[in-house]
């Protein structure tokens, strides 16, 4: 069973993001970029499925700038067999990515696509669901456990009220939640080996997809700064402030 793992290049989760002065987006120049953390979980799960003898070849795919090769190399160092870069410098919305991935699925014929549940830069949580809809495949989103059962996949999902278990007919789409696994660190020998693994580069036009955005971002702002707290001298003063200043009681 071939597994496709889409990985996105995003601002590293440790970076404190800064909004551009003109409010058009967040600053990415001279900022550390990494693989989206949920996609690391997706690569790890694909590798674990292969270690259990369930998965065969693992193909990592990234849509984005040429520099997204770095994230593909990380996926290769973690255990993916080869990479595909769909090179595009502009904004890529989830629908455009889902359309690109649909054409890659048609080319590669995977039985399973494992995506992150959301990209930490745009928080869309939409690409996996859109891909499932475009392909007409079943989807197990927010997965915290994946097991193969005959020709199906048993996926435990993290939902508001607890856990839901679904059975998916393959081929299928899964999106990863935080508790699915703890991704491994790539070892030095594996980082060296990854340098020799192949990465194919394509353009959206080669795949017949127009990636032009359908949304325009009107404004990006930082969250309002929290005001400093005040110390009160007594419970009575606290109650008085809650009633007359904060007006919460
Ligand atoms: P989103 O819908 O943007 O929150 O992203 C959900 C998931 O879709 C990510 O965790 C990735 O697995 C995948 N994805 C989104 N954008 C890209 C991209 N540009 N290249 C590869 N995979 C992507």
Any domain includes 17 = yes
Q: What is the pLDDT of residues 149-203, one digit of tens each?
A: 998 999 999 999 899 999 999 999 999 999 999 999 999 999 999 999 999 999 9
Query: Which CATH number is 99's domain given?
Result: 3.40.50.620
Q: What is the pLDDT of residue 229?
A: 87
Question: Domain count of the chain?
Answer: 1
Distance 227 CA to ligand 1 centre (A): 35
Tokens of 41: 């979980």
Any domain includes 190 = yes
For ligand 1, say whether the CB of 142 is within 6 Å of any of its atoms.
no
Any domain includes 229 = yes
Q: What is the pLDDT of residue 135?
A: 98
pTM of the model: 0.91
Q: What is the pLDDT of residues 75-132, one digit of tens each?
A: 999 999 999 999 999 999 999 999 999 999 999 999 999 999 999 999 999 999 999 9
Domain range for 182: 3-244
Any domain includes 249 = no
Nearest to 138 by CA among 117, 167, 110, 164: 167
For ligand 1, say whether the CB of 46 is within 6 Å of any of its atoms.
no
For ligand 1, say whether the CB of 63 is within 6 Å of any of its atoms.
yes
Any domain includes 21 = yes
Any domain includes 62 = yes
């Amino acid at each position: 069973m071939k597994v496709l793992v889409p990985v996105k290049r995003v601002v590293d989760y440790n970076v404190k993001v800064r909004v551009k002065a003109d409010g058009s987006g967040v600053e990415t120049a001279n900022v550390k970029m990494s693989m989206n953390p949920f996609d690391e979980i997706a690569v790890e799960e694909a590798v674990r499925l292969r270690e259990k003898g369930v998965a065969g070849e693992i193909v990592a795919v990234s849509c984005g700038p040429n520099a997204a090769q770095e994230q593909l190399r990380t996926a290769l160092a973690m255990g993916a067999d080869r990479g595909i870069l769909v090179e595009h410098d502009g904004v890529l919305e989830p629908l455009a990515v889902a359309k690109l991935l649909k054409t890659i699925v048609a080319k590669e014929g995977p039985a399973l696509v494992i995506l992150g549940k959301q990209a930490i830069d745009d928080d869309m949580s939409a690409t996996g669901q859109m891909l499932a809809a475009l392909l007409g495949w079943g989807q197990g989103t927010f997965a915290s456990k994946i097991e193969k059962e005959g020709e199906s996949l048993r996926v435990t999902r993290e939902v508001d009220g607890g856990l839901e278990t679904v059975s998916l007919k393959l081929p299928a789409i899964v999106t990863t939640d935080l508790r699915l696994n703890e991704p491994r660190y790539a070892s030095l020998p594996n980082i060296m080996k990854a340098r020799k693994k192949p990465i194919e580069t394509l353009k959206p036009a080669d795949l017949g997809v127009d990636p032009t955005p359908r949304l325009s971002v009107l404004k990006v702002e930082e969250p309002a700064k929290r005001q400093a707290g005040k110390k009160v001298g007594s419970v009575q003063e606290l109650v008085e402030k809650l009633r007359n200043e904060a007006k919460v009681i």
